[in-house]
Chain A
């Protein structure tokens, strides 16, 4: 691949219990692009995605083989520091998950656990990242209000701001717009496009049109395997594999 890669997956196999969930995954995620992982339900797209920040190992009976290189180092190396790996990646869940704290404390939380205690820096970062997430104007007068009182769309923007505040280089989105209203979804999509100049964005989506709108690179998965991956226009408009063709045309979903 000509361009730089942010995440490189080599021969990744994941078993959960007796099920072989991911089969021989080899793929490279390009830097500063939006990569969409698409495929039908249960194809392993979320599992692949969770293998990037080692969230998989919190479940029972998970066996992971192979390598995932992030910025050149293998995150499954026994010496790897799992918290440092996760800090590199901001996560947006399907449903927004604000922490049970105030709006201000939500953003400061990440700073605090990484040892930044200065109140002045806290205030600066809160302002900055709320502005990046375009939430500042809506919440600047009630930073001490519980985050749970925000609307779902606002909560998702808060989660984005919180994730960005620990200064990751990669943003991971697990169908981050699926619980949102159309306007909030559109906003997240536009924000991702805006943010890709500074971040690598990986997003799981089951909405093909969303992938068409914002993806630069697409990975198509089916039954635990990567069937095809490539630049978005090529994969979505001119797929090479019969399965990808059927999926893109909407024959299977």
Chain B
């Protein structure tokens, strides 16, 4: 009886594990199979030309650049906001103070807010500020989306820093700010992970940029211009009845996946480098 029980649960665990592996594999398989035939150099080097959306010449360079700009800008902005937050709750405030708990539950709630809500919020804010659909509005909205992700990831690694390290730095006569800088060095790999996680999330989100960044066939040259994004390029082309255009949607998805994958690989390499001094 015990043996059967053991066998059953082991099978259950193996099955569940298999599902997640299959999941990743079949997603990649679908994108590659459907996207690869349409993927060519034109796709990544040219912007849409006349009749692109009915299957004629051109590429999605506009969306690639737009997405990189928006995700990059949003990651940078949210880095400027996240680092002070995590330093404040981890180094300046006493451990488990009321404010610390409040900040942690706040970002947990924000973490769970669906991105379409951020999109709607960003849209309202955009109108209130008198902005038009633009790259800037897109960056601001995506920043809202990724701040909780960034703060949470950084906070998790900061909480793992041994308290003795703070004490050791303080006892050399360091101020809190100087101590913060040492802590940042210790958690540098974690900060990198947080940035890249946010970037990956930001570049893939459609709902945030739908109302705010707009869409254009040209490459944006200023923050006040609208910007195309990869998720929307997928969205618009997938809705087309033409098979050729649908294939391009999958190719766009493939490009997006490759970008995210590349970021992942880069982060692993940098992570090893940054971990050199970690204690």
A interface residue numbers (CB < 8 A to B): 53, 55, 58-62, 83-84, 86-87, 89-91, 93-95, 97-102, 109-110, 113-114, 146-148, 159, 162-163, 166, 172
B168 partner, pick from A59, A101, A148, A159, beta carbons under 8 A: A159
- Ordered by A's residue number, 25 sampled pairs between the chains whose C-beta atoms are within 8 Å are A53-B170, A58-B95, A59-B94, A59-B95, A60-B97, A62-B94, A86-B172, A91-B171, A93-B164, A94-B164, A97-B167, A97-B168, A97-B279, A99-B165, A100-B182, A100-B277, A100-B278, A100-B279, A101-B277, A102-B277, A113-B174, A146-B277, A148-B277, A148-B279, A166-B172
Query: How far apart sit A90 and B167, CA to CA, in the bound complex (Å)?
Result: 11
Question: Chain B contacts of A172 at CB under 8 A?
Answer: 171
Q: Which residue of B lies closest to A101 (CB)?
A: B277
Query: How far apart sit A100 and B166, CA to CA, in the bound complex (Å)?
Result: 12
Q: Which residue of B lies closest to A83 (CB)?
A: B173
Q: Are A100 and B162 in contact, with the CB atoms below 8 A? A: no
B10 at the interface (CB under 8 A from A): no
- Given A60-B96, A99-B185, 7 further pairs, Cβ under 8 A: A86-B172, A86-B173, A91-B168, A95-B162, A99-B168, A100-B188, A114-B173
Give the residues from 111 to 147 in chain B that come closer than 8 angstroms, CB to CB, to chain A.
none
Question: Chain B contacts of A58 at CB under 8 A?
Answer: 94-95, 166-167, 170
A55 and B186 contact, Cβ closer than 8 Å, known pairs A110-B173, A114-B173, A147-B277: no
Query: How far apart sit A61 and B96, CA to CA, in the bound complex (Å)?
Result: 10
A87 and B162 contact, Cβ closer than 8 Å, known pairs A60-B97, A99-B182, A101-B277: no
Most buried by A among B166, B169, B276, B277: B277
Q: Are A162 and B172 in contact, with the CB atoms below 8 A? A: yes
Q: Which residue of B lies closest to A112 (CB)?
A: B178
Question: Chain A contacts of B170 at CB under 8 A?
Answer: 53, 55, 58, 86
Question: Chain A contacts of B222 at CB under 8 A?
Answer: none
Question: Chain B contacts of A100 at CB under 8 A?
Answer: 182, 185-186, 188, 277-279
B175 at the interface (CB under 8 A from A): yes
Query: How far apart sit A55 and B174, CA to CA, in the bound complex (Å)?
Result: 12
A97 partner, pick from B95, B164, B175, beta carbons under 8 A: B164
A147 partner, pick from B97, B173, B279, beta carbons under 8 A: B279
Question: Chain A contacts of B182 at CB under 8 A?
Answer: 99-100, 109
Distance in angstroms from A4 CB to nearest chain B CB is 23
Query: How far apart sit A109 and B171, CA to CA, in the bound complex (Å)?
Result: 12
Q: Mark B170-198, 1 if CB is under 8 A from A, else 0.
A: 11111100100010011010000000000
Q: Are B173 and A97 in contact, with the CB atoms below 8 A? A: no
Question: Chain B contacts of A59 at CB under 8 A?
Answer: 94-95
Q: Mark B143-166, 1 if CB is under 8 A from A, else 0.
A: 000000000000000000010111
Distance in angstroms from B277 CB to nearest chain A CB is 4
Q: Which residue of B lies closest to A98 (CB)?
A: B279
Q: Are B95 and A87 in contact, with the CB atoms below 8 A? A: no
Q: Which residue of A lies closest to B175 (CB)?
A: A83
Distance in angstroms from A82 CB to nearest chain B CB is 8
Q: Are B171 and A86 in contact, with the CB atoms below 8 A? A: yes
Q: Mark B78-99, 1 if CB is under 8 A from A, else 0.
A: 0000000000000000111100
Distance in angstroms from B91 CB to nearest chain A CB is 9
Distance in angstroms from B241 CB to nearest chain A CB is 58
Query: How far apart sit A100 and B274, CA to CA, in the bound complex (Å)?
Result: 10
Question: Chain A contacts of B277 at CB under 8 A?
Answer: 100-102, 146-148
Question: Chain A contacts of B165 at CB under 8 A?
Answer: 97, 99
Distance in angstroms from B30 CB to nearest chain A CB is 43
A53 and B172 contact, Cβ closer than 8 Å, known pairs A58-B94, A148-B277: no
Question: Chain B contacts of A148 at CB under 8 A?
Answer: 277-279
Q: Are A89 and B171 in contact, with the CB atoms below 8 A? A: yes
Most buried by B among A55, A97, A166: A97
Query: How far apart sit A99 and B184, CA to CA, in the bound complex (Å)?
Result: 11
Query: How far apart sit A102 and B185, CA to CA, in the bound complex (Å)?
Result: 12
A55 and B172 contact, Cβ closer than 8 Å, known pairs A60-B97, A100-B279, A148-B277: no
Q: Are A90 and B185 in contact, with the CB atoms below 8 A? A: no
